[in-house]
Amino acid sequence: MKINRIILILLLIVVFVMAFGCAATNPETEDYVVSRVTKFVDRESDVTCWVYDSYNSGGISCLPNKYIN
């Protein structure tokens, strides 16, 4: 039973690695996708924000300027 469990875990790891490797390519061109981070400062709100933009994902993070060197 232990050997079957180890084989199952190894197979799951291989599947996840393959899935993440496939997700890193653009299915239309099969080129690697470049991620981009854009920084901007909102002086009115006194915050700095970073926008992460990539194929199929993205996000935004902001910090008050008093915490940034």
- Total structural domains within the chain: 2
Q: Does the pLDDT value for residue 20 go beyond 60?
A: no
Residue 12's pLDDT band (cuts 50, 70, 90): confident
Domain co-membership, 24 together with 41: no
The rounded mean pLDDT for the chain is: 75
Domain co-membership, 45 together with 20: no
Domain co-membership, 39 together with 69: yes
Domain co-membership, 46 together with 67: yes
CA neighbours closer than 13 Å in the CB half-sphere of residue 28 = 3
Domain co-membership, 51 together with 69: yes
Domain range for 69:
34-69
Model pLDDT, residue 66: 92
pTM above threshold 0.95: no
Please indicate whether residue 15 or residue 63 has the higher confidence score (pLDDT). 63
In a 10 Å sphere around its CB, with 0-12 CB exposed, 13-18 middle and 19+ buried, how is residue 18 labelled? exposed
Nearest in space to 23 (alpha carbons), one of 38, 15, 11, 60: 15
